Amino acid sequence: MKIPFVSLREQADELGAEIRAAIDGVFKRSHFVLGESGRLFEEEFAAYCGAAHAVGVASGTDAIHLALRAVGVKPGDEVLTVGNVWVPTACAIRAAGAIPVFADIEADTCGVSVSAVAAAITPRTTAIVPVHLYGHMVDMDPLMELAGAAGIPVVEDACQAAGSEYKGRRAGSIGDAGAFSFYPTKNLGTYGDGGLVTTQRADVDRALRALRNYGEGGRRYFSDVAGGVNSRLDEIHAAILRAKLPHLDRANARRREHAARYRERLAGAPVSIPAVREWALHNYHLFVVRTPHRDQLAAWLAQNGVGTSMHYPVPVHLQPAFSDLGVREGALPETERACREVLSLPIYPELTSAEIDRVAELVAAFKPEAP
């Protein structure tokens, strides 16, 4: 039995007729940028998240970058985030001209530690970017209380968290802004790049709409906002996302069923699984296990036909591109330990129970070799 890490074919087959009809509608209207599909998707996704506004952009990275600028981040400012992620979050901070500063994580959830954030705040801190990693949301109430007391805006990196909830509130509805990615493998993905920012703030919405379109603030061919860019969610991607959005909750529910089966089957296996807080509705964008023998386990599974991935093997502060920050190995012990241990197992809605059982059986049978 060959089990890929992820497969998009089944979803494309199931929703193919709806998606093709949506794309045909765009061609019939022949309005391919900032048209009806984008406007309607913004309205529908804002309503889905419980946000007042949503602004489509070209990617999740652009969503973080432009959200930071819209909440007031300026060149030379510091922005707090985490390092046990891939580099787009930090790249977006740098694109805004700011300096990424990393707070350590909770050992059991892999989410940012609010106490570590509190310790890392300086007079130069002008934003906090909590990452809802793997689809499990950060503990937002104490984080928002901390940020509010310090007068620091919060931009949720919800790129892996479409449909996730914190105490009944959806990702992207709590902070000053929420950034989403619609990369093909995301729980809500298009067939290419795409992103979006949610916000409750009318001023942030206005700033985003100008920034994404060359600084045009409402009057055509008048650029009112300095530093505008071209970052627009195009109509074809918006139409595809509109077709997929009504299916998102059902797909996420399937992922939670798969995760529950994994947890049951992996009881007693030589791995640990990150905790899920009682207030969290996890969308299981990824199902992650941890072991000090991660590389051996990945090789064992590959030998037996199971695809895996590592999210993420090298923390951002130890990436060559960020060596100028001067953060040395050992500075973020929980972050670094997680990056050495995490391994993502296959999880997508169309995965079968037999496939989950086979993966779990192989993980349980894994015997690490002595170093």
Same domain, 208 and 118: yes
Residue 104 lies in a domain: yes
Overall domain count for the chain:
2
Residue 2 lies in a domain: no
Residue 325 lies in a domain: yes
228, 246, 264: which is the final residue of a domain? 246
What is the value of pTM for the model shown?
A: 0.97
Q: List, in order, residues 6 or more apart from 230 with CB less than 8 Å away.
A: 58, 212, 213, 214
Q: Residue 281: how many CB atoms within 10 A of its CB? A: 19
371 pLDDT more than 80: no
Same domain, 24 and 149: yes
Domain with 345 in it: what CATH number?
A: 3.90.1150.10
Same domain, 225 and 89: yes
Residue 313 phi, psi (nearest 5): -80, -25
197, 223, 246: which is the final residue of a domain? 246
Same domain, 30 and 151: yes
Q: What is the pLDDT of residues 162-182, one digit of tens each?
A: 999 999 999 999 999 999 999
pLDDT at site 369: 87
Same domain, 54 and 201: yes
How big is the CA angle at 355 (ends 349 and 359), to the nearest 5 degrees? 110
Identity of the amino acid at 172: G
200, 229, 246: which is the final residue of a domain? 246
DSSP string, 316-338: GGGSGGGGGG---TTSSHHHHHH
**Which domain, by its residues, includes 105?**
9-246
Identity of the amino acid at 297: L
Q: What is the pLDDT of residues 107-128, one digit of tens each?
A: 999 999 999 999 999 999 999 9
Q: What is the pLDDT of residues 78-88, one digit of tens each?
A: 999 999 999 99
For the chain, give the percent of residues with pLDDT over 90: 97
Q: What is the pLDDT of residues 60-100, one digit of tens each?
A: 999 999 999 999 999 999 999 999 999 999 999 999 999 99
Same domain, 235 and 130: yes
Task: Identify whether the C-beta of residue 251 lies closer than 8 Å to the C-beta of residue 239.
Answer: no
Is the bond into 312 cis (omega within 30 degrees of 0)? yes
CA distance 164 to 138: 11
Residue 3 lies in a domain: no
